[in-house]
Amino acid sequence: MQYITQWSEIMKSIKLQNVTKSFGSDLILNNFNLEIPSGKFFALLGPSGCGKTTVLRMIAGFEEPDQGQVFLGNTNISHLPINQRQVNTVFQNYALFPHFDVFDNIAYGLRVKQIPAAEIERKVAKMLKLFGLEQLKHKSVRQISGGQQQRVAIARAVINEPDVLLLDEPLAALDLRLRERVLVELIELQEELGMTFIYVTHDQTEALTVADQMAIMGKNGQIEQVGTPKEIYEFPQSTMVARFVGSTNILHGHLVLEREELYLYIDEFNRVLVPMVGNWQDLLQQKRVYLSIRPEKVEISKRLLVGFSNHVTGTVSAIIYHGRSTQYNIALPNGSVMQVFEQNEEHFPKETIDYDEIVNVYWQKENSVLLKN
């Protein structure tokens, strides 16, 4: 589409610089900094109350920073009114006009700008085709499904050709199967438009599915880590990130360098090999160091196996069937509990493991990550 090519040529990044925001006595963001590159599907992920929606509202213009600046490209938009920003928002409840049909909902923004009727007809027709809504053109939005309403809401935002599209928990009202389908549609749409999407969610699966890049916010309103979904999942930098994005096992102890190998002593009698990567030298000085191991990278067996860097023994305390996989919780002698995810593949016969049995847990040191805190 010609207008999409032109669009991609004017894409702009978003930058929040030294932003502080309070509501009454509640400090939400304190000297907050974040840069979102243009043309990316960027997810902002964090627990409820961490300030991610406040960030979105400041980009959109619904809130102003108490201190600091918000930039769209090189333009400071911190105090620009909403209608002067090249930014549109899709809300959690979609905010469609129930007394309008699909066509009129999508056309609303163009009519406010007093665009000629023929141009409105042309642009809305293009949006209807792009979003697969042509057959619903004259349907009331009350008569269409949740997924179709979501597409109408995005079409209404996209038709104004913003530099940035903001999506605030847009799938929260959809059931699981529909949410999975709409996620794929959003990915395809962003790739086709080449527009910057900023997607706010507390759902880790959604963020990992859609994002080119993502930022994890902690409860203190600060950025914990920025990276690709793979970087954040495979190489979390803190216990907060490791626990918030996916399931993980966290072991703790003190680090010791012995004969050019690095060990984490998890109790007086047990130690595990850890990789010598990152800032491991600095962690040698800490009294307590944390280690993350993803449950799907751990093997479980009643037999003694060879070829693994690490081996601990524990007792099966829980077995949870997840369909594709089975989760085993293994209680270790030091009081820690390790999770193991084992794929349920019938063509690979598995041992029968039951409650209260003593089992061996194995993993390679390369599949563990030292955490800064």
What would the pLDDT profile of 105-163 be if each residue is shown by its tens digit? 999 989 988 999 999 999 999 889 888 899 999 999 999 988 888 889 888 988 888 88
- At 162-172, the pLDDT tens digits run 889 999 887 77
Is the sign of the CA dihedral 166, 169, 173, 174 positive or negative? positive
Sequence-separated (6 or more) residues with CB below 8 Å from residue 228: 211, 212, 213, 214
* Amino acid at the residue 224: E
- pLDDT greater at residue 251 or residue 7: 251
- Sorted by where each starts, the structural domains of the chain and their CATH numbers stand as 2-239 (3.40.50.300), 247-371 (2.40.50.140)
- Chain centroid to Cα 261, Å, comes to 35
C-alpha 232/C-alpha 93 separation (Å) is 29
Nearest CA to 315 out of 280, 354, 363, 372 is that of 354
Q: Which structure tokens are listed for 88?
A: 């549109």
pLDDT of residue 53: 92
Sequence-separated (6 or more) residues with CB below 8 Å from residue 1: 126, 130
Place 11 in a pLDDT band, splitting at 50, 70 and 90. Answer: low
Q: Which structure tokens are listed for 123?
A: 């642009």
Q: Which helix (H) or strand (E) holds 336?
A: none
Any idea which of 5-19, 140-154, 190-204, 261-275 has the lowest mean pLDDT? 5-19
Mean pLDDT of 88-94: 83
pLDDT of residue 33: 96
Tell me whether strands 75-76 and 67-72 are parallel, antiparallel or unpaired: antiparallel
Cβ atoms 50, 5 nearer than 8 A:
no
Cβ atoms 52, 44 nearer than 8 A:
yes
Cβ atoms 274, 263 nearer than 8 A:
yes
Cβ atoms 300, 359 nearer than 8 A:
yes
Nearest CA to 272 out of 259, 256, 288, 284 is that of 256
pLDDT of residue 349: 64
C-alpha 340/C-alpha 315 separation (Å) is 12
Cβ atoms 323, 304 nearer than 8 A:
no
Q: Which structure tokens are listed for 249?
A: 């096992």
Enter the DSSP assignment of 30: E
Cβ atoms 41, 187 nearer than 8 A:
yes
Q: Which structure tokens are listed for 253?
A: 């102890």
The DSSP annotation for 143-157 comes to GS-HHHHHHHHHHHH
Compute the CA torsion angle 56, 59, 64, 68 (nearest 10 deg). Answer: 110
Is the sign of the CA dihedral 335, 340, 346, 347 positive or negative? negative
- At 316-354, the pLDDT tens digits run 999 999 988 899 999 998 889 999 999 887 766 678 899
The DSSP annotation for 314-328 comes to EEEEEEEE-SSEEEE
Report the share of the chain in percent with pLDDT over 90.
Answer: 63
pLDDT of residue 1: 35
Cβ atoms 168, 53 nearer than 8 A:
yes
pLDDT of residue 7: 43
